[in-house]
Structure 1
Amino acid sequence: MRTKTHIFMACLAAAAPMTSAMAQAAPAAAASATASQTASAPALTLLEAYRLALTQDAIIRTARAGADARRERIPQARSQLLPNIGFQAGANRNNLIRTQPDIAGVPKTTEQFYDSNSRTFILRQPLFRPALWADYRQAKAQVADANASLEKETQNLATRVTGAYMEALLAEDQRALVLQQQTSYRTQLDAAKKRFAGGAGVRTDIDEAQARLDLAIAHLLEANQNVEYTRRQLQVIINQPVTKLAPIDEVKLRQAPQPGSLEDWRERAELTSPELISLKAQRDAARAEYDKALAGHLPTFDGILQWNMSKSDSINTVGTSYNSKSVGVQLNVPIFSGGLTSSQVRQTVADIERAEQALEATRRDLGLRVEKEYRGVTEGTLSIVALETAARSADVMVTSNRRSFEGGARTLLDVLNAEEQRLTALRDLANARYTAVLSRIKLKALAGVADEDAIAEANSWLKP
């Protein structure tokens, strides 16, 4: 019975690495193929990705087209203030049938064919049109809103590109950590099997190490999928395949300059935030709409120049030609419109209040977002330093647990837990680094200064 038990346990020990090897065959082959394809490819830098996104991203191109369309409001509104010149011409072939009594009082019918034509040249110049001037001011405010909205999308593009780039790097780091996990667990599994075969270990150690290794294999599959997905996210923005990225240089990131004081960033955001500029322009447009509605109570005054040439323009002037010229003015006075104008005025007053409150709410929220990203930069730097210390301490703890395990003072479970804690510290450290970079870009985007120079600065923290 003892011999059968030993044979059964040996079969289990032999089957475990075979199962592990089979489970890793596909991911290892895929990783090897990917590595061979990307080894010779140049790494895509953050600055290169941003420049590609400026021309290839569908969202920013849509915003540019929308801004171009809105900019046409100014020439359209200005055209209403300029002279309106028109020319009309017409020619007709007329058939006149006339029935009238003759001298004897007997009705007599005659039929006549004749040609008629007319040409009219009209020039109308608005002299007093308050609504048109209000519309022109509104057009300028709407164009300012369009330009600010485009700038806001440009700032968001810097954030989106940086975020996608950092997510892709984080996914690669997480995959590398899972591979380290597998190597460590496999080493511990082999050691446990040897100790068990030598009579110094227990079966529980083998089972524990095998369970951790199987879980790491499952995590590797998930990590590979996450790497492909995050690269695909970046590819959608830049419209180019992504195979290799430039990694973060930890030393350069640690030497990155501090952003300055929080109050300075708040003041800068108040002045240059595209979001606030857009809302201020919307408020100005609402005020111009109020002026347009109020102008509905006022008279309008136009200058008119007209030149008319006609021939046979009626049945009483057949064969007669006219050539008339006139210069004058036209006054239109609104008297009663059923309450429409008054209702429009009240509506625009409510729209102004809505725009004012939206501006104030965004201003308050912007201050909070600036503070959040500012602390993400300043406290993120402290967090990186703390996590680097934690990672070094975790390395020491792993070494100590391994030696204590070899001396019999610790179990294999203690070693595996120490390994898990070390990898957690490394994962948190990588996440903190990428979050700190992204927070810098977000902070500058809120202030409207996330331009190519800002991306170039972040790009300098990457390894060449």
Structure 2
Amino acid sequence: MRHVLSLLLLGAAMPAAPAAADTLREALLRAYQSNPTITGQRAAQRATDENVPIARSAGLPSLDATGGFNQNLLTSGNSFTNPARSLSVGPQLVVPLYRAGAVRNSVAAAETRVEAGRATLRSTEASLFTNVVAVYMDVIRDEAIVALNQQNVHVLDVNLRASRDRFQVGDLTRTDVAQSEARLSLARSQLESANAQLISSRENYIRIVGTEPGELQDPPPLPHLPTDPGAAVTKALADNPALAAAAKQRDATRYDVGVARAARSPQVNGVVSGTYSTYLGTLGGGSVGQSGTAGGLGLQLNLPIFQGGRIGAQVRQAEALRSQAIEAVTDTERGVIAQTRSAYAVWRSSQEVIASSEQAVNANKLSLEGVRAENSVGTRTILDILNAEQELLNSQVTLVTARHDEYVAGFALLAAMGEAEARDLGLDGGPLYDPLSNYDRVRHNINDRGDDHEPAPVATRTVDSPAQNATVAKTADPLLDTPVDSNPKLTTGATATDRK
């Protein structure tokens, strides 16, 4: 039974949220429905599906009709031997009888590539969801950093005004005031950089999700992740969709070699033909012999004897492409292993950084309070206060960043293990896209007149979205305390129907 990620954020169990609030589940659903990367990959998969009926058509009977009309402009002799005009129509039915396995291998290759395309679609979904989580957490992180920097500017501005007042009464020196001024200017520049980063993150959110971010809610906890990188790699090698796609592409090339080799063998067709001809009254002798019919039934043998080395080159080419596909599997496997181990390392280290940063924030808060108290009795300078405030800000930013990194890396680890795809997410908003439905529709379709009409855009455009700003609605310093998360935890989803 597979371990999966399930974002079943049960509405009944969730506390009431503001109307304008966005959840991670909503962002995932919007991207799944309207992101051009995923909608384009679905179209590519539908195109891949068509290779199966194309391959099958080579083994099915074909019916053609030819016709011709001839008007002689210059005649010699009498009309019995050279009529003025003639018309002929001839249908022909060709039934493939023997193709030396070319059709069978071609169909098998096409079907295998369809399976590879489905795995690629799964990989695209996982990559898209990982990007959605990343941009979602980017906005949350950068909003928190902007809020912290705004608070820092406010605190330093108050410090500067107090320093100037104390300078006026002789309690401080000009040096103390200059230090406060310099630190405030630095804080303002840091705030501007944080504002620019927040705007960039919000614009990137629009690019991935398709809508501007509202008031983003904290994401739900991730399910239990592997306790060691070895277990994560084992799971990834078994279920990673990109690796599965590469393996299917490799398997398809084996059939390609069979198709190329079949060109060396004879091919046999059954042929049924007929002809109707008429001279449209221009043949001498009155109405006698003005038209005629003929029909035939036979076998057609095509025996390749010498093709100038073309067939041999095609076989060698197919074998080389198979070798390339084999190496591509190894390359993909290496990438999956590195991706899994890297995500695990970042996830684990971020957890350690979070624990240390929480302690640092609490310690720096106590330190700042102590430095201010000691300054009031003359044992600490203004510079000591400024340094303590900067250390508190730095630890708060480190904590915010670590929480971002821990969640993004955890989700990336799930994606590497094949547990962050559309079938693993409890997304409300209609049925999930089913690539099998289109394949079943076209696989045995032999209608030469069928088409799906002119395609219409599916992904939403963002040209009308407003330019983003760095306005932060959250209260200042939201991360000094760590409240208990009231969101329902994510379940493994191991009992889901599609996992049995």
TM-score, with length taken from structure 2 = 0.75
Tell whether the 8 Å contact from 2:283 to 2:289 is kept in structure 1 after alignment: no
Deviation at 1:304, TM superposition (A): 1.6
Deviations 1:107-137 (A, max 9, x none): xx99975553333222212122132322222
Matched-pair contact (CA < 8 Å) for 1:246–1:462: no
Other-structure match for 2:36? 58
- 2-structure distance, mates of 1:462, 1:145: 41
- Give the C-alpha shift of residue 196 in structure 1: 2.1
The C-alpha deviation readout for 1:161-191, integer Å capped at 9, x for no partner, is: 1111111111101101101211221232233
Deviates more, 1:287-296 or 1:348-357: 287-296
Counterparts of 2:232 and 2:334, CA distance in 1 = 14
Aligned residue number for residue 244 of structure 2: 277
State the alpha-carbon separation in 2 of the partners of residues 163 and 155 from structure 1.
12
Please give the alpha-carbon distance, in whole angstroms, between the structure 1 residues aligned to 2:18 and 2:134.
Answer: 26
Task: Output the CA distance in 2 between the equivalents of 1:377 and 1:275.
Answer: 22
DSSP-derived class of the 2:21 partner: coil
Give the match for residue 331 of structure 2: 361
Counterparts in 2 of 1:83-102, with a 5 A limit? 83-93=61-71, 97-99=75-77
Question: Any conservation in 2 of the 1:164–1:234 contact (CA below 8 Å)?
Answer: yes
- Superposition map of 1:319-334 within 5 A: 319=289, 321-334=291-304
Task: Look up the match of 1:352.
Answer: 322
Change (3 A) 1:461 1:61: farther
Higher helix share: 1
Aligned pairs for 1:290-439 (under 5 A) are 290-311=257-278, 319=289, 321-439=291-409
Q: Which residue identity is paired with 2:65? A: F
Residue matched to 1:228? 199
Higher relative contact order (CA 8 A, sep 6+): 2
Q: Percent identity?
A: 29
Q: What does residue 413 of structure 2 align with? A: 443
How far did 1:312 drift?
Answer: 5.1
How far is 1:257 from its partner? Answer: 3.4
Give the Cα–Cα distance (whole angstroms) in 2 for the partners of residues 453 and 285 of structure 1.
25
Question: CA-atom RMSD, angstroms?
Answer: 3.0
Any unmatched runs of 5+ in structure 2? 1-16, 428-483, 489-500
Alignment partner of 1:162 is 2:133: yes
Aligned to 1:69: 47
Secondary structure of the residue that 2:216 maps to in structure 1? Answer: coil
Write out per-residue CA displacement over residues 387-424 of structure 1, whole angstroms, 9 at most, x where no aligned residue.
Answer: 11121111122122222222222221122111111111
Please say if residues 126 and 422 of structure 2, whose CA atoms lie closer than 8 Å, have aligned partners that are also in contact.
no
Q: C-alpha offsets along residues 67-116 of structure 1, whole Å, 9 cap, x if unaligned?
A: 1112111111111111112233445555673349xxxxxxxx99975553
Please name the residue that 2:476 is paired with.
none
Candidates 196, 202, 205, aligned match of 2:176: 205
CA distance in 1, matches of 2:83, 2:426: 83
In structure 2, what is the equivalent of residue 265 of structure 1?
232
Q: Give the 3 Å change call, closer, same or farther, for CA 127–453 of structure 1 in structure 2.
A: closer
Whether the 8 Å contact between 1:95 and 1:112 is mirrored in structure 2 is no
How many residue pairs end up in the alignment?
Answer: 412
The 8 Å contact of residues 80 and 284 in structure 2, kept in 1 or not, is answered as: no
Distance 1:257 1:446, change over 3 A: closer
What's the secondary structure of 1:98's corresponding residue?
A: coil
- Name the CA shift for 1:462/1:352 in 2 (closer, same or farther; >3 Å): farther
Q: 8 Å contact 1:441–1:454 — kept in the other structure?
A: no
* One-letter amino acid matched to 1:276: L
Alignment-mate amino acid for residue 84 of structure 1: S
Structure 1 window deviating more from structure 2 (314-323 vs 91-100): it is 314-323
CA distance in 2, matches of 1:98, 1:453: 79
Match of 1:188 in 2: 159
Partner of 1:32: none
**SS in structure 2 at match of 1:97:** coil
Q: Is the 8 Å Cα contact of residues 175 and 224 (structure 1) preserved in structure 2?
A: yes
Change (3 A) 1:126 1:264: farther
- Segments of 5+ residues of structure 1 without an aligned counterpart are 1-38, 101-108
Question: Take 1:322 and 1:453, find their aligned partners in 2: how far apart are those partners?
Answer: 65
Q: Which has the larger radius of gyration?
A: 1
Question: 3-state DSSP class of the match of 1:383?
Answer: helix
Q: 1:246 Cα deviation (Å)?
A: 1.5
Distance in 2 between the 1:186 and 1:393 partners? 23
Opposite residue 291 of structure 1, the aligned amino acid is G
Q: Secondary structure at the residue paired with 2:263?
A: helix
CA distance in 2, matches of 1:199, 1:209: 16
How far off its partner does 1:41 sit? 5.7
Cα distance in 1 for residues equivalent to 2:28 and 2:342: 24
Q: Give distance in 2, aligned partners of 1:295 and 1:266.
A: 41
Q: Cα–Cα, structure 1 residues 198 and 95, in superposed 2: closer, same or farther, change >3 Å?
A: closer
Aligned mates of 2:186, 2:361 — CA distance in 1? 22
Residue 442 of structure 1: how far off its partner (Å): 0.9
Assess, with a 3 A threshold, how the Cα gap between structure 1 residues 183 and 357 changes in structure 2: closer, same or farther.
same
Deviation by residue 1:4-62 (Cα, 9 ceiling, x = unmatched): xxxxxxxxxxxxxxxxxxxxxxxxxxxxxxxxxxx976111111111111122121111
CA 193–258 in structure 1, closer or farther in 2 if over 3 Å, else same: same
Tell me if the contact between 1:246 and 1:463 (Cα under 8 Å) persists in the aligned partners. Answer: no
Tell me the residue number matched to 2:431: none
Which residue in 1 is equivalent to 2:94?
Answer: 124
Q: Distance in 1 between matches of 2:422 and 2:251?
A: 31
Amino acid at match of 2:313: S
TM-score for the superposition, normalised by structure 1: 0.80
Conserved? CA contact 2:277–2:291, under 8 Å:
yes
Q: Which amino acid aligns with 1:221?
A: E
Over residues 218-267 of structure 1, what are the superposed CA-to-partner deviations in whole Å (9 max), with x where a residue is unaligned?
A: 2222322322221111112222232322245xxx75x9634455333322
Distance 2:209 2:404 in 1: 20
Q: Is 1:241 aligned with 2:212?
A: yes
